[in-house]
Structure 1
Amino acid sequence: MSATRELIENYIRSWNETDPLRRRVLIERVYAEQVTYTDPMAQVRGWEGIDASIAAVQGMFPGHRFALAGEVDAHHDLARFQWQLSAPGDDEPLVIGFDVAELDEGRVRRVHGFLDKVPQTA
């Protein structure tokens, strides 16, 4: 497995980790300290911002899980990948998104997120 694929898998794991201490360890391993994250619903900076965003999404969609929806495409210090958020046992994902991550020394420095499918109540 490539280092970039492993990094993005850990990125997805960070969005699934519900234990605050284990999530923080993942965040500090995956993201650069001054990371920026921007999608249509959020714009945050730093480890605290990422942590708060993940906790908020988990609060909105309790029990749901993120998963990669295909391969990670990467070159230079860029990675792009599609992901989905699903409830356990559901065949159809509730949310589908596409992220482009800028990498720096093996960590995610900046994320540009796009939402392809969003529930009507979001």
Structure 2
Amino acid sequence: MTATRQLVERYLQGWNETDPLRRRALIEDVYAEHAAYVDPMIEARGWEAIDATIAAVQDMFPGHVFTLAGDVDAHHDIARFQWHLAEPGADEPLVIGFDVAVLDAGRIRQVHGFLDKVPVAA
């Protein structure tokens, strides 16, 4: 397993961690201090904002789990990968996303997130 894939798996582990102290430790380990996360619905800069974003997503989708969907494609200091968000044991993911991460010294400096499938509001 490559170091980049391991970093991406720890990134997703952070999105799944519900214990605030363990999640914050993962965030500080995975992201550079002034990292940014941007997707169509949010822009978060720094560890505090990223932590708050993850907590908000967990509140919106309680019990759901992020998983890596396929390989991590990387070159130089850029990685791209697809992920699924689903309830454990679900046949189909509720949300499908695609992230591009810019790396810096083995940590994530920026994430550009894209949402390929999102639930329709009732």
TM-score bucket of the superposed structures, by smaller chain: over 0.9
**Aligned-partner SS, 2:6:** helix
Aligned twin of 2:120: 120
CA distance in 1, matches of 2:121, 2:43: 20
Percent of aligned pairs sharing the same letter: 73
**Aligned-partner SS, 2:27:** helix
Q: Answer yes or no: is 1:52 the counterpart of 2:52.
A: yes
> Is there any run of 5+ residues in structure 1 with no aligned partner, and where?
none
CA distance in 2, matches of 1:22, 1:42: 23
Which TM-score applies when normalising by structure 2? Answer: 0.98
Alpha-carbon RMSD: 0.9
Cα distance, 1:121 vs structure 2: 2.0
Number of aligned pairs?
Answer: 122
Aligned twin of 2:65: 65
CA distance in 2, matches of 1:9, 1:44: 20
CA distance in 2, matches of 1:38, 1:24: 19
Alignment of 1:1-122 (within 5 A): 1-121=1-121
Moved segments of 4+, more than 6 Å: none
> Is there any run of 5+ residues in structure 2 with no aligned partner, and where?
none
Cα distance, 1:2 vs structure 2: 0.7
Which TM-score applies when normalising by structure 1? Answer: 0.98
